[in-house]
Amino acid sequence: MYMKKFLFSKNIKLFNSLCKLFFCGIFALFFFGCKNASSSEIVSEQNTLKSLTNSKLQNIQWTNEIEKNRLKEKIHSSPVVSKSLSLTPDVMIALEGGIPRNPIYPSIDDFGSLDISDLDYKIYDLINSFFIDLKNSKNCDFYIAKNSIFAISLFMYDLGQLSFSLNNLSWIMGKPFLDEEIIEVPIRLNNETNSIDIHLYLKDEATSESLQSDFKIVDFEIYRFDKKLSEAEPNGK
C-alpha cells in the first residue's frame, strides 16, 4: 500500500514537470515568433525609408558651389584696412559703417521730393527771406528781378482771387530743377485753411564784372490749390 502511494506521488510530480516544460516551450515559441515578426517589420520599414531617401537625393539637381573654399580660407588682411590691425569682427563692423551711402530724403505724394541738397544756400536764404517779408507785409521788390517787377503784383492778385490769406503762412521747398539760366523751385504755401503749390523761378542777375552771384525771382506760377493742409514740417514759419 505504501509503495502504491509513493509511485502515485512520483507520477504526479513528473506530470507537473512535463506540464511546466510544455507551457514554457509554447511561451518561448510565441515570444521569439513575435520578436522576429517585429524585427522584420522594422527592417522592412527602414529599407523603405532608405530607398525613398536615396531616390529623392538622386532626383535633386544640385548646383555647383559658388565659392567652394570661401569658408575655409583664412583672410588676414584687407586692401582698405591697415595691416597693423587684425580683421576682428569689430574692425569689420567699423569698416561696414564707414562705407558711403546715398542719403534718403522724405517726399510728399502730391508734391514730390523734399531733397534740396542741390539748392544753392544763397537761393535757399533768399526764398526764406522773401516769404518772411511777404508774411509780414513788407516791401518785397528787392527780391524781384528788375525786368520782372510786375510778377509780384500778379502773384498777389492771384492769391487774392483764391482768397488765400498770408496769416500764419508757412512753406515747404521741394527738389529744384536746375537749368543753365533758370532755376525752378517747387514750393508749397500753407496757412490755417488752405495750401497752394507754386513754381518759383529764379535767375542769376549778376553782371560779367561781378564776382558773386545775385539771384532774383523772375516769375511765380500757381499750379495747385487745395484746402487741405500739408502734414509735412515746413521750412519756414
Q: What is the pLDDT of residues 135-186, one digit of tens each?
A: 999 999 999 999 999 999 999 999 999 999 998 999 999 999 998 889 999 9
Task: Calculate mean pLDDT across residues 15-44.
Answer: 54
Band of residue 74 on the pLDDT scale cut at 50, 70, 90: low
Q: How many helices (H) and strands (E) does the chain have?
A: 4, 7
The predicted pLDDT at position 2 comes to: 43
Q: What is the pLDDT of residues 181-237, one digit of tens each?
A: 899 999 999 998 889 999 999 999 887 666 678 899 999 999 999 865 444 445 555
The predicted pLDDT at position 122 comes to: 92
The predicted pLDDT at position 126 comes to: 95
Q: Is the pLDDT at 81 greater than 70, yes or no?
A: no
Cα distance between residue 192 and residue 125, in whole Å:
24
Q: Per the structure block, which three cell numbers stand in for 38? A: 517585429
Q: What is the Rg, in whole angstroms, of the alpha carbon atoms belonging to the chain?
A: 47
Task: Calculate mean pLDDT across residues 18-32.
Answer: 55
Task: Calculate mean pLDDT across residues 46-53.
Answer: 71
The percent helix, strand, coil of the chain (3-state, each to 5) is 40, 20, 40
